[in-house]
Amino acid sequence: MNKQEFVNRIAIKTGETKKSVSTQVDTFLETLREVLIEENKIQFIGEWSMEVIPTKERKGRNPATSEEIIIPAGKRLKFKSGKTFDTEVLGK
């Protein structure tokens, strides 16, 4: 499902216009990014959480040349589903 299909589904469920829903979805995504940048974590209890976690510098290998390389330290996004989310989506 792409963003437009997602917006259409919400518009049908809520009776709001697609333009209004699209604005709300854009605002949600923008706010999600801001929170992750500022606070590194967001949590919807029972649903899911996202957290920015640091990664350490590590050794790797260039698959084309088999040359050993150093992969610099950085960040990655960790997603964890909650109990309600797991139950409904995954059937756990």
pLDDT 10s digits, 23-40:
999 999 999 999 999 999
Question: Is residue 82's pLDDT more than 80?
Answer: yes
46 pLDDT band (50/70/90 cuts)? confident
pTM: 0.78
On whether both 57 and 33 belong to a single domain, the answer is no
Domain count, the chain: 2
Residue 52: closest CA among 77, 81, 79, 80: 77
Residue 19 in any domain: the answer is yes
Q: How far apart are CA 46 and CA 61, in angstroms?
A: 39
Q: Domain range for residue 25?
A: 1-39
On whether both 32 and 70 belong to a single domain, the answer is no
Mean pLDDT of all residues in the chain? 95
Residue 45 in any domain: the answer is no
C-alpha dist (Å) from residue 17 to 3, 24, 25, 28: 15, 11, 12, 17
pLDDT of residue 79: 96
